[in-house]
């Protein structure tokens, strides 16, 4: 796949470029700041943009703002943002327009090379990749908000993996369940969370995340 990178730490940027190249991807550009990112994406039209949230000049959220803009202007481009730590509102801003072709990973996850590559792949294929840590925190924070408390431990496990953006088949693999068991658990979860069945697959993730955030 064709990837564009925006990451201010030279060390990390170079490492990412090497890693992606080794894995057979094409890095069309590697930028040190978010200023020209949107324009470059417009010009190069990569498949996925990997964007660090915190970049110069203010080191706050310029990467995220650029990512949101890319998502608005080129919905077919996947966006994977990297964050220093879990920021619920950042995740919410990123997901506000839907959970297709989007990822939110903690920077440390990049070090788990497989997980990073896997997330990149999922974003490229049109899915979502939410950092397990983000999901875990959201779930923990929402347990007092009642409906979640009604889930059984297994249902909660399934929900957590689902929220990270995995497909039913992947969930089944990860939790060593049959596909039909996963579907059964998910139906139970959606029932308990009072989510309408008519929603499409990726809508479910969005719905879950939004629900958890509320």
Partner 1 sequence: MRAGGELDSDRSAGREAGRGAGQRIERGDTVPGSAPRRLAGSLLGCPTALLGVLFFLASGAVLGPFLLWPRTRPRAREVLTAGARRLAALERHRRSAFFGDRFPGPYTVSDRRLLRYLAVRSWTGLVYGIVLGLLGFGAVLAVLLVGGVVRGTLGRAELFAQLLLGGVLLFLDLQGLYALAALDARLARECFGPSESELLRRRIDELAVSRAAVVQAVDAERRRIERDLHDGVQQRLVALAMLLGRARRSRDRDPEQADALLLQAHGEARDVLAELRDVAWRVYPSALDSLGLEEALGGVAQRCSVPLRIRFEVAGPLPRPVETAAYFVVSEAVTNAAKHASASAVSVHVSLGGPPGGPLLTLRIEDDGRGGADPAGSGLTGLRSRVAALDGVLRVDSPLGGPTTLVAELPCA
The whole-angstrom separation of Cα 67 and Cα 50 is 9
CB nearer to partner 1: give 116 or 185.
Answer: 116
Peptide bond into 7 cis (omega under 30): no
The whole-angstrom separation of Cα 103 and Cα 91 is 9
Binding part of the chain for partner 1, among 13-21, 94-102, 144-152, 182-190 by CB under 8 A, reads 13-21
CB nearer to partner 1: give 108 or 183.
Answer: 108
Interaction of residue 208 with partner 1, rule CB under 8 A: no
Interaction of residue 207 with partner 1, rule CB under 8 A: no
| Contact residue for partner 1 among 3, 4, 16, 34 (CB under 8 A) | 16
Query: How buried is residue 17: exposed, middle or buried, by Cβ count under 10 Å (0-12/13-18/19+)?
Result: middle
The whole-angstrom separation of Cα 57 and Cα 174 is 41
Interaction of residue 71 with partner 1, rule CB under 8 A: no
Interaction of residue 60 with partner 1, rule CB under 8 A: no
Q: Of 97, 84, 102, 89, whose CA–CA distance to 138 is shortest? A: 89
Query: How buried is residue 122: exposed, middle or buried, by Cβ count under 10 Å (0-12/13-18/19+)?
Result: buried
> x/- site string to partner 1, residues 98 to 137, per CB under 8 A?
---------xx-xxxxx-----------------------
**Which residues would be at the binding site for partner 1 (CB under 8 A)?**
8-9, 11-12, 15-16, 18-19, 22, 54, 59, 84, 107-108, 110-114
């Amino acid at each position: 796949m064709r990837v564009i990178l925006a990451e201010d730490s030279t060390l990390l940027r170079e490492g990412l470029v090497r890693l992606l190249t080794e894995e057979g991807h094409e890095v069309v550009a590697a930028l040190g700041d978010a200023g020209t990112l949107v324009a470059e994406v417009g010009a190069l039209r990569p498949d996925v943009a990997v964007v660090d949230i915190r970049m110069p000049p203010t080191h706050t959220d310029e990467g995220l703002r650029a990512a949101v803009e890319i998502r608005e202007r080129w919905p077919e481009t996947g966006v994977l943002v990297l964050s220093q730590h879990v920021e619920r509102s950042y995740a919410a801003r990123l997901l506000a327009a839907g959970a297709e072709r989007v990822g939110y990973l903690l920077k440390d996850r990049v070090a788990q090379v497989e997980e990073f590559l896997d997330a990149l792949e999922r974003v490229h294929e049109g899915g979502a990749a939410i950092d397990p840590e983000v999901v875990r925190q959201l779930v923990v924070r929402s347990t007092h908000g009642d409906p979640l408390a009604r889930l059984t431990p297994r249902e909660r496990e399934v929900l957590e993996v689902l929220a990270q953006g995995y497909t039913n088949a992947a969930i089944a693999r990860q939790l060593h369940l049959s596909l039909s068991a996963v579907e059964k658990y998910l139906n139970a979860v959606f029932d308990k969370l009072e989510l309408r069945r008519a929603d499409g697959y990726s809508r479910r993730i969005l719905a879950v995340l939004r629900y958890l955030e509320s």
